[in-house]
């Protein structure tokens, strides 16, 4: 099952999840220390939307930003 918006082509991005320990300096500690970095994926917010494409009804996977922007005719 693909995680790509069929209107704008938005797809998953990769990044890091950073684990920290300690108390922040402004809260009276000696500062936060990084204890681990793990790769993670940022997924687009895709919804199944029933749309009209060339006069026919289709179900498309569309991101919410395209729905809000009115790029999809329901």
Q: How confident is the model at residue 41 (pLDDT cuts 50, 70, 90)?
A: very high
How many angstroms separate the CA atoms of 24 and 3, rounded? 37
**Residue 37: inside a domain:** yes
pLDDT at 1 over 80: no
Closest to 48 measured CA to CA, from 59, 57, 33, 39:
59
**CATH code: domain of residue 62:** 2.20.150.30
Model-level pTM?
0.75
How many angstroms separate the CA atoms of 2 and 41, rounded? 14
Per-residue confidence (pLDDT) for residue 74, from 0 to 100: 81
Provide the number of structural domains found in the chain: 1
Q: Where are the beta strands (DSSP E) in 1-74?
A: 13-21, 33-42, 46-53, 56-63
Domain that holds residue 32: 13-69
Q: What is the mean pLDDT of residues 42-62?
A: 94
**Residue 57: inside a domain:** yes
Q: What is the mean pLDDT of the chain?
A: 95
Q: In the numeric block, which tokens belong to residue 20?
A: 């920290």
Q: What is the mean pLDDT of residues 46-71?
A: 94
């Amino acid at each position: 099952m693909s995680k790509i918006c069929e209107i704008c082509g938005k797809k998953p991005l990769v990044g890091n999840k950073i684990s920290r320990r300690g108390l922040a300096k402004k809260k009276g500690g000696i500062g936060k220390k990084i204890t681990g970095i793990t790769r993670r994926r940022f997924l687009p917010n895709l919804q199944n939307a029933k749309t009209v494409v060339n006069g026919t009804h289709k179900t498309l996977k569309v991101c919410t930003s395209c729905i809000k922007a009115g790029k999809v005719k329901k």
